[in-house]
Amino acid sequence: MKYRVDSPKGKQIYIHRMSVVEPVFGNIGTNKRLNRFSLRGKSKVQGQWQLYCLVHNVEKLAISS
């Protein structure tokens, strides 16, 4: 795995991954303290996840305005 990540292609993929997806999950998991869902059932969990994503996006809009 170290060889794959240290290769030129691996570095390019890893840099893109860190800049696009990881901060969202880090913010929701750490700052919002969502480490497990409090509801059961796929539709309820999906609704709870969408609510956390909505809050994340509204905060981004409030900061940039």
pLDDT over 90 (residue 35): no
Give the DSSP H or E segment for 33. none
The predicted-structure confidence for 38-59, as pLDDT tens digits, reads as follows: 999 999 999 999 999 999 999 9
User: Closest by alpha carbon to 59, among 20, 17, 23?
Assistant: 23
Ramachandran quadrant class, 34 (left: phi over 0; alpha: psi -120 to 50; beta: rest): beta
Phi, psi of 27 (to 5 degrees): -65, -45
pTM for this one? 0.62
Query: pLDDT per residue over 11-31, tens digit each?
Result: 888 877 765 567 788 888 888
